Chains A and B, each alone.
Chain A
Amino acid sequence: EAGVTQFPSHSVIEKGQTVTLRCDPISGHDNLYWYRRVMGKEIKFLLHFVKESKQDESGMPNNRFLAERTGGTYSTLKVQPAELEDSGVYFCASSQGRGMPQHFGDGTRLSIL
């Protein structure tokens, strides 16, 4: 069984540019989560999808961040325009059910110059 896959593994862009991160969850997992770890800080929740619906987006920092999950399969997280403080590692996780253990991807390291 393939695990959670994230693309790209590392992205370096300039301030003001747009970046799109992708997450492919484990097949059959309806629940998909995005988290972020800014350097020196704890891993923080961004949002939660159940299938294609946003269940909880209370952790999204501002309206420069847009998450989608087309057809309840893979998800994208777009940052537009990117700011310096957006640098960090973005993790995606999926689970079979709410409250069930979450399986994490390797993360995307985003560097804003």
Chain B
Amino acid sequence: AQSVTQPDIHITVSEGASLELRCNYSYGATPYLFWYVQSPGQGLQLLLKYFSGDTLVQGIKGFEAEFKRSQSSFNLRKPSVHWSDAAEYFCAVGASAGGTSYGKLTFGQGTILTVHP
């Protein structure tokens, strides 16, 4: 069964500082990987995705993530955080083709990001 671990429940950074949110997954084959963000009172917004190819993927709002198969990781990064980035971030793995669970997402526990001015 697939699983996702986000080791950090809460991270606090200063505005302008760099950010890295950790995500480790467990999946038997090559996974589909996603990062979503949820701002207060809103739904989940897709930041970026990895399906195949280049292991460094660029997303919206200046975010990027790197897929490292050897470490089963898909960490999210941003070089300079803005106050508007304060939100909850979710890493998710999607079952790849084959089987009834194809398409289903398994989420990590989420990481709450607080940004200090």
| A44 partner residues in chain B, CB cutoff 8 A | 107
Would you call the interface of chain B mostly helix, strand, loop, or mixed?
A: loop
With contacts A44-B107, A56-B100 taken as known, whether A101 is within 8 angstroms of B49 at the C-beta atoms is yes
Least distance between B70 CB and chain A CB atoms (Å): 24
Instruction: Determine if B90 is an interface residue (Cβ-Cβ < 8 Å).
Output: yes
B103 and A99 contact, CB distance less than 8 A: yes
Partner of A99, one of B97, B100, B108: B97
With contacts A99-B32, A104-B44, A105-B43 taken as known, whether A33 is within 8 angstroms of B105 at the C-beta atoms is yes
Minimum CB distance partner of A59 in chain B? B104
What per-residue 1/0 map shows which CB atoms of A76-113 lie under 8 Å from chain B?
Answer: 00000000000000010101001111111111000000
| B44 partner residues in chain A, CB cutoff 8 A | 43, 91, 93, 104
Instruction: Determine if A1 is an interface residue (Cβ-Cβ < 8 Å).
Output: no
Partner of B101, one of A58, A93, A95, A107: A58
B108 and A42 contact, CB distance less than 8 A: yes
Instruction: Determine if A55 is an interface residue (Cβ-Cβ < 8 Å).
Output: yes
A48 and B46 contact, CB distance less than 8 A: no
| A35 partner residues in chain B, CB cutoff 8 A | 105, 107
Instruction: Determine if A67 is an interface residue (Cβ-Cβ < 8 Å).
Output: no
| B42 partner residues in chain A, CB cutoff 8 A | 106
Give residues in B with beta carbon < 8 Å to A: 32, 34, 36, 41-46, 49, 51, 90, 94-97, 100-110
